[in-house]
Structure 1
């Protein structure tokens, strides 16, 4: 029977070609994901190893332990005094912002220079190593990007130590403690990439300079140990650990060999890669499910078209087991062949993606090492083979379910549902009912706990699962109704197309279901992402009705305020004083602004409540009758409950005078134009920071926060939709398969219609309308279902952030998805229509079926 299976594949290779393509896409997706993950992991390990390349031993912080540079400094001396230790150098990192003459504010990852030049992991290109505390060595690529050169000055933002009065009875309001210090570039070096911060601007200064200005902000990466030539590494390692254990950092630091440290650091830094890999494999799993539906449906049609041939084999002595094995062998061979091609294509795609990433996003993807593990190849091939075996189980069972005598009789498709399908129907509709009930319950109960988000996700999953199981009862009636309403006006081809799609409801349902899954997920992500972005923005405006706020520790210069007002996109900018809240509200310390009502009306959002003289405006759910605030003095002030602003409270100058607000505790409040695009917010933030001579990190507000998460959501949407395109493509291949095999089944019927006067153009229209009807109905159902699930997901995720649900979706995107489905349906019918048109009526009527 193996020979029979191979003969079938050789003779009817065109029927199996599309099956192999769908399997190749799914298997290639899996292999590509694993190859990319392995390549990133290998590149990360090389980068980490390069950081410790000249050390003999290393001391690193424990997992999830933050250790500041100022905490480790006292240990460097005792470690250096250990017998066998030549030097102990601190390797740390501080994220700060700097501004130079040739560039505006930029972020920097700044580290101390190793005390021993032997431990340098960089190559000096020009200039010299820093000597003075304010000397700086820039990474060569950073200098090129910023237009900086040796001799330039860069002003960095640093944290100064707050001055304590020592008098608890007279608390004073202290503004931001940020100050700045100017460094001079004395050298350029090739530093490579920081594996924890790819793409960051990198710079080095002396250990003393780092300790004085940045150690309190930064975190320790490692302490690199250089040993004497005759030192015993194992003994020195034990002594290092003893010094650590006897210090205040006992349990926070571990002395390790370089190889062990590289492994530990790589494992910690690869957490992000693991998450990305898991997400990619999740999307690959969706593609595999879709491929199983497509392959199963196609094999069912192939087996149904060979019923007489299978019956003849039974008459010649083939057993049921042999027939079953023959069908499974066909599927396994096609699956293996398709998987091999898919995996080979995955290697090429992985290489192409990595080259494209390095070329177009060199900062985010600085590595170009392609690693192709054998396990990834075997996994891809195994997944393809397994999905094909699973997909051929139902067709194989149908091949042995018919007796030889029954199969030799004329075969007509029955529209009467079989009683054997009743358990399937019960399970399917049961899943739908439970899913809908769970979704509704989650919407009502989410106020009681965030765990109901999982309940809503489970309900949505059950709803989609129930639709897949009971699709043969749900999809055909929808197809029939839409075909009757929209396709009947196309005349005879439209009417025949509708009838042909209903001829085999199960096949139509399975074909449509594969596409519904992909479109539903795309619509869910689009609607959910856009609605979540809009709802979070609305909620943030309610909780903090200030577009942009900048806390300052001095009187605002009129010229600086005028510069802020002239920034494109800024509608109004005013100054306000700040008081300090003594207690938290809902786990956060609210800002308290002292501002007169007339000025407040120009900069506060529409959701802000009107100010009441002598009171502090608090949200409606504020429970106390007073709020305790302080300036130079501290007192309880009556509240006025209105609105939802929980992150910012507002009061009038009378209250500010009563508590003695300092004249230097000011803020600049900015109202943006209504039509400012989210993409412009980052530019406005940088411009405001430059005008007020502060770090951009100090420029906050609801608009700034909205810009940050909007950019993140947009990136996630683009990536998810792009990945789901593979599933949609596999589903469209299934539509093409269905139309192609229906042409093969209906050769005699098509020839008879041609003989009765049906033109070639009408025949082509008939097949095109069949494909368009299936694909468009699937797209419509997927869009409707995905929209509903996206809205539900948005409500569950944003319940605690906004009282209102803002539904937002892109009409052009939806029309685009529907248009793609229609165009794909037409394209999928081109080859079958050409095949049907080539067959003359006389030749078609001669065929014996």
Structure 2
């Protein structure tokens, strides 16, 4: 029977080609994901290892322990005094903001140079190593990107000046929120990539300069230990650990060998890789599920077309087991062959992605090594093989379900009864009902517990599963209705196309289901993502009705304020004063702005409540009748409950005068134009920071937060839709398979219609309409179901951030998806239509199938 299976594949290779392509896509997706994960992991380990290449031992913080540079510096002396230690160098990092003459603002990752030049892990390109406290060495890429040369100056934001708490009878001193210091560039060096912050601008300064200006802000990466000649590493390591245990950092640091330190650091930094790999594997799993549906449906059609052949083999002595094994062997051969091609394609795709990442995003991806583990190759092949075996179980069972005598009789498989389908349909409808009920309960109960978000996700999964299980009862009626309404105007081809898709409801349902899954997920992500952005934006406007706010510690002159108002996209800007809330509200300390009502009307958003003289405007659910506020004095102020602004409270100048608000505790509040695009917010934030001479990190507000999470959601949407595209392609391959095999089954029928007067153009139109009907109905059902799930998901995720649900449905995107489905349906019918049109009526009527 193995010989029979191989002969079938050789003779009817065209029927199995599309099956192999679908398997190759799914297996290649899995292999590519594992190759990328392994390459990222190895690249990360190499990058970490290079940072320790000059050390003999390393002292690193324990997992999830933050150790500041100012805390670790006193320990350097005791560690250097340990017998056998030559030097102990602090490796630390501080992320701060810098400004220069050639650039407005940039984020820098600053580190101290090692105490001993012999332990440098960078190569000087020009200039000299830093010597003075305010000397700076820049990375070559940073210098090129920011157009900085030796002798240029950069002004950095450094440690904040503490604010004294004061006694009840003493005024509170408010120092400047930020200080700055100017550094001079004395050298350009080739720095090794920082795996923790691959995209940041890199710079080095002296250990003394780092300790004085940046240590409080930064964290310790490691203390690198160089040993004297002949020192025993294990003995020194034990003594180092003893010195640590006797210090104030006992329990915070551990002394390790370099290999152990590299492994520990790599493990801690690889969390992002694990997330990315998990994210990719989820979509790979979706593509595998879609491929199973496509392969199973295609094999079912192939097996149905060979019923007489199977019957003849049974008459010649073949057992049911042999017949079953023959079908599974065919699938396994095609699956393994397709998986091998898919894995090879996955290697090429991984290499292409690595080359693109290194070329276009060299700073963001520590992706310098392509690693192809054998486990990834084997996993891809095994997934493809198992996928095919699972998909061929049902077709193999149908091949042995009839006796030889029944199979030799004239029998139209397409209208064969499905006596065992009723329990399956009942289960499917039960899952849909249970899932719908769980979704409804989750939407109403999510306010009591965050766990109901998982309940809603489970409910949505049950609905989709129920649709898949009972698709033969749900999809054919929808196809019949769509064909009657939309395709009747096409005349005879349109009517025949509708009837042909309904001749085998199981096949049509399985073909459409594969595409429904892909489109449903795309629609869920699109609607959920866009609606989440809109709902979060609305919730932010309610909770913090200030587009842009800049807290200052000094007076603002009219020229600076006018410069802010002239920024494109800014509607207005006003000056407010700041007070301090003594107590938290809903887990955070709200800002209190002292603002006159006229200015408030111009600068606050539409969701802001009115400001009442002599009171502090608080949200409706504020429980107390007063709010404790601190200025130069502290007092309880009556509240005015209105609106939902929980992150910012507002009061009038009368209250400010009673509190004794300092004239220098100011803030600039900015309102943006209504039509400002989210992409413009980052530019406006930068311009406001420049106009007021502050760091952009100090520029906040609801619009800034909206711009940040909108960018993140957009990136996730683009990535998710791109990954789901593989599943959609596999599903469209299934549509093409269905039409192609339908042509093979109906050769005599098509020839007879040609003999009765059906033209070649009408025959091609007939087949194209069949494919379009299946793909368009699947796309419509997927869009409806996905849109509903996206809305539900938005409500579940954003229930705590906004009282209202804002549904944002992109009609253009939906029409685009539907248009792609229609075009793909037409394209999938081209090859079958060409094959059908080449067959003359006389030749077609001679065939005996």
**Normalising by the residue count of structure 1, what TM-score does the alignment of the two structures yield?**
0.99
Following the alignment from structure 1 to structure 2, what is the Cα–Cα distance between the partners of residues 286 and 366? 28
Confirm or deny that 1:720 pairs with 2:740: no
Q: Secondary structure at the match of 1:447?
A: coil
Task: Tell me the equivalent position of 1:402.
Answer: 402
Asked if the contact 1:139–1:202 (Cα under 8 Å) also holds between the matched residues in 2, the reply is yes
Aligned partners of 2:690, 2:232: CA distance in 1, in Å? 54
Say if 2:177 and 2:552, in contact at 8 Å, map to a contact too. no
Q: CA deviation at 1:163?
A: 5.7
Q: Tell me the distance in 1 between the aligned counterparts of 2:635 and 2:176.
A: 23
- 1-structure distance, mates of 2:682, 2:739: 51
* Matching residue of 2:759: 759
Match of 1:369 in 2: 369
Displacement, 1:173?
5.2
> What is the Cα deviation at residue 413 of structure 1?
3.8
Partner of 2:187: 187
Residues 496 and 766 in structure 1, CA contact (< 8 A), matched pair in contact too: yes
Instruction: Please tell me whether the aligned partners of residues 199 and 366 of structure 1 are also in contact (alpha carbons under 8 angstroms).
Output: no
Aligned partner of 1:222 in structure 2 is 222
Single out whichever of 375-384 and 241-250 deviates more from structure 2: 241-250
Alignment-derived partner of residue 338 in structure 2:
338
- Is residue 748 from structure 1 mapped to residue 748 from structure 2 by the alignment? yes
1:192 deviates by 2.4
2:768 counterpart residue number: 768
> Where do residues 288-303 of structure 1 align in structure 2 (5 Å cutoff)?
288-303=288-303
1:624 aligns with 2:630: no
SS in 2 for 1:419: coil
The farther-off stretch of 795-804 and 153-162 is 153-162
Where in structure 2 are the equivalents of 1:66-85 lying within 5 Å?
Answer: 66-85=66-85
Evaluate the alpha carbon distance shift between residue 176 and residue 751 of structure 1 in structure 2; reply closer, same or farther with a 3 A threshold.
Answer: farther
Partner residue in 1 for 2:477: 477
Give per-residue Cα distances to partners, 1:573-615, cap 9 Å, x unaligned. Answer: 1100000000000010000000100011110000001110000
What are the residue-to-residue correspondences of 1:729-808 with 2, within 5 Å? Answer: 729-808=729-808
Following the alignment from structure 1 to structure 2, what is the Cα–Cα distance between the partners of residues 817 and 301?
Answer: 28
Correspondence for 2:119: 119
2:815 maps to: 815
Which residue of structure 2 aligns with residue 197 of structure 1?
197
Kindly indicate whether residue 674 of structure 2 is the aligned counterpart of residue 685 of structure 1: no
Q: TM-score, normalised by structure 2?
A: 0.99
1:530 is aligned to: 530
Mapping 1:509-524, distance limit 5 Å:
509-524=509-524
Alignment of 1:584-663 (within 5 A): 584-663=584-663
Matched with 1:701 is 701
CA distance in 2, matches of 1:227, 1:414: 81
1:207-248 CA distance string (max 9 Å, x none): 111011000000000000001011111000000100111112
1:505-536 Cα distance to aligned partner (Å, 9 max, x none):
00000000000000000000000000000000
Structure 1 residue 438: deviation in Å? 0.2
Please tell me whether the aligned partners of residues 283 and 723 of structure 1 are also in contact (alpha carbons under 8 angstroms). yes
State how far apart, in whole Å, the 2-side matches of 1:463 and 1:726 are: 23
Tell me if the contact between 2:98 and 2:156 (Cα under 8 Å) persists in the aligned partners. yes
The CA deviation at 1:168 is 5.1
Structure 2 CA distance for partners of 1:218 and 1:556, relative to 1, 3 Å: same
> Once the 2 structures are TM-superposed, how far is the Cα of residue 416 of structure 1 from its aligned partner?
7.3
Name the structure 2 match of 1:384: 384
Deviations 1:331-380 (A, max 9, x none): 00000000000000110011111111222222212433111111100000
Aligned 8 A contact 1:456 1:796 in 2: yes
Task: Kindly report which structure 2 residues correspond to 1:177-576, keeping only aligned pairs within 5 A, or say none.
Answer: 177-413=177-413, 415=415, 418-576=418-576
Query: Which of structure 1's runs of 4+ aligned residues deviate more than 4 A?
Result: 165-168, 414-417
Distance in structure 1 (CA, Å) of the matches to 2:494 and 2:175: 74
| Distance 1:302-1:552 versus aligned 2 partners, 3 A rule | same
Deviation of residue 169 (structure 1)? Answer: 3.1
Distance 1:258 1:139 in 2: 25
Distance 1:812 1:313, change over 3 A: same
Q: How many residues align?
A: 849
* Counterpart-to-counterpart distance in 2, 1:591 and 1:843: 84
Does 1:47 pair with 2:71?
Answer: no
Maintained 8 Å contact 1:175/1:552: no
2:147 is the alignment partner of 1:147: yes
Deviations 1:645-665 (A, max 9, x none): 000000000000001000000
Change (3 A) 1:813 1:166: closer
**Cα distance in 2 for residues equivalent to 1:148 and 1:257:** 38
- Contact 2:160–2:176, Cα closer than 8 Å, also in 1: no
- Deviation, 1:321, is 0.4
Question: How big is each residue's C-alpha offset from its partner over 1:128-177, in whole Å with a ceiling of 9 and x where there is no partner?
Answer: 11111110010011000000000000000001442647645314152553
2-structure distance, mates of 1:648, 1:165: 21
Structure 1 alignment gaps of length 5 or more:
none
Q: Distance in 1 between matches of 2:815 and 2:358?
A: 34
